[in-house]
Amino acid sequence: MRIVHIADTHLGKRQYGILEREHDLYNAFDEAVEKIVRMKPDIVIHSGDIFDSYKPAPWTLLRAVNGIMRIVESGALFVAVQGNHDLGPSPEGGKDSPFPLLERIFGEKFVYLGKKRPSIEFGDVVICGIPYHPASMRKQLITSMEEVSKRAGNNGFRIMVLHQGISPFLVEYKTEIHKADIERFPFDYFALGHYHNRKEHSDGRRIYVYPGSTENIEEREVEESKEIGKGFFLLDTDGEKRDFVRLERIRPYHIIKRRISSIMGIDSLMDDVRRIVLSERIPPMIRIRASTREDLMDEINKAHKDLLDELEGRYLRILLDLTSEETDKIVEGASSLDIEVLLRDMFKERELERELGIEIYRAFREGKRGDDLRSFVMRKLERWLNEANIS
């Protein structure tokens, strides 16, 4: 049995409000679909966050439908769970999601696993799945796993599909459950989503796999993804093989950190940016994070503007975050605390408030500003209020 495992396509996300970045995510999805169709798998498993919003725009929904249509017409069954971005509050109460619409469009060729249908059998493969649960609902998640695991049986290849952060594979603040909570369940392969860089772990009896997102969703993914790539997995349950299929048309993304103390340092920085831009086949995204003296700021801004004019058409964006060393000294002198540690300490017993604060801080740190930051905060606040009501 040949199975594709993909996750976190986040269709509709418009990073920093840049339209081209939204199209980058569509293009990554389209490339994945092209590769999947050529491979002709029996099953495609999507481990959540097909969409970036539970209310996708019509053109986003159409892009997803066209891609899934190509996959199911090639003969594959499409199986998915709902990620946190695929779920939102319903006006009638409970949860809302575009998945029921996809089910109506594709019928039995699109199966989303959850309370209504927690498992499906396909030959000698049993696939169970549970939609995203916030950390505040950890007990409910484990109870759901106990119930659904009864359907796995003792034979064949057994897969559990989850959109969750699991420690110790990920750092603690990204997790909702621990490996110890789930390792007793009788599954051979945990098809995971939610974490955006590829990660694999085997304890000799079972395999835990995050394929990662199909494009860079947040800046903190960038450095690692340059090394390990973006893509999905192809499993062969007969030969027990697992191969990572790397996507080749991902937009290059570079983050340059520099301390500048002289005119020569400015020239060196701009030369490095120029070299990167001219070496890339696809116009890159570049973010410069530079600290300098107050008296050099105007020179750096001028050099940045001149470089933008010189390289126009060769890059998507070259963003400059410039910080004065005087400001840095004030911040470091007043507090050398890690802001995330501070937030965790402040909201130690109030998990949802803690996670909301951390996510907003990360978004600001990674460059979200203006309307992009406001819309991000509103989406997170809406989801946070919904989870608070449920729990």
What are the tens digits of pLDDT across the range 177-206? Answer: 999 999 999 999 999 999 999 999 998 889
Tell me, what amino acid is at 37? V
Given a cut of 70, whether residue 365 has pLDDT beyond it is no
How confident is residue 152, by pLDDT bands cut at 50, 70 and 90?
confident
Output the domain CATH number for residue 194: 3.60.21.10
How confident is residue 336, by pLDDT bands cut at 50, 70 and 90?
very low
Q: Do 308 and 347 fall into the same domain?
A: no
Q: Do 47 and 143 fall into the same domain?
A: yes
Q: What per-residue confidence (pLDDT) applies to 331?
A: 33
**Whole-number Å distance between alpha carbons of 207 and 201:** 6
Pick the last residue of a domain from 246, 263, 278. Answer: 246
Neighbours of 133 (CB within 10 A): 23
3-state secondary structure 173-232: HHCCEEHHHHCCCCCCEEEEECCCCCEEEECCCCEEEECCCCCCCCHHHHHHHHHHCCEE
Q: Do 188 and 259 fall into the same domain?
A: no
The model carries a pTM of: 0.84
Tell me, what amino acid is at 269? L
Q: Give the pair of three-digit tokens for residue 247.
A: 């996507």
Q: Which residue has the tokens 């549970």?
A: 130
Q: Do 68 and 120 fall into the same domain?
A: yes
Q: Do 191 and 321 fall into the same domain?
A: no
Q: Do 187 and 161 fall into the same domain?
A: yes
Q: Give the pair of three-digit tokens for residue 75.
A: 């003969």
How confident is residue 154, by pLDDT bands cut at 50, 70 and 90?
confident
Q: Measuring CA to CA, which residue among 162, 197, 211, 212 is closest to residue 183? A: 162
Q: Contact at 8 Å (CB) between 277 and 316?
A: no
Q: Do 346 and 324 fall into the same domain?
A: no
Q: Do 41 and 184 fall into the same domain?
A: yes
Q: What per-residue confidence (pLDDT) applies to 344?
A: 64
Q: Which residue has the tokens 């696809």?
A: 282
Show the domain range for 267. 253-334
Q: Strand, helix or coil at 370?
A: helix
Helices and strands (H and E) in the chain: how many: 12, 19
Given a cut of 70, whether residue 338 has pLDDT beyond it is no
Given a cut of 90, whether residue 42 has pLDDT beyond it is yes
Q: Contact at 8 Å (CB) between 42 and 76?
A: yes
Q: How far is CA 57 from the centre of its chain?
A: 19
**Whole-number Å distance between alpha carbons of 10 and 22:** 9
Residues 6+ apart with CB under 8 A from 302: none
Neighbours of 17 (CB within 10 A): 14
Q: How many domains does the chain have?
A: 3
Q: Measuring CA to CA, which residue among 80, 100, 104, 102 is closest to residue 92? A: 100
How confident is residue 348, by pLDDT bands cut at 50, 70 and 90?
low
Q: Do 237 and 257 fall into the same domain?
A: no
**What percent of the chain has a predicted confidence (pLDDT) above 90?**
70
Average pLDDT over residues 346-352: 64
Pick the last residue of a domain from 334, 367, 382. Answer: 334
Residues 6+ apart with CB under 8 A from 194: 7, 8, 47, 48, 49, 83, 84, 132, 163, 164, 165, 174, 210
Q: Do 385 and 311 fall into the same domain?
A: no
Q: Do 273 and 366 fall into the same domain?
A: no
Q: Do 327 and 285 fall into the same domain?
A: yes
Q: What per-residue confidence (pLDDT) applies to 172?
A: 57
Q: What per-residue confidence (pLDDT) applies to 205?
A: 84
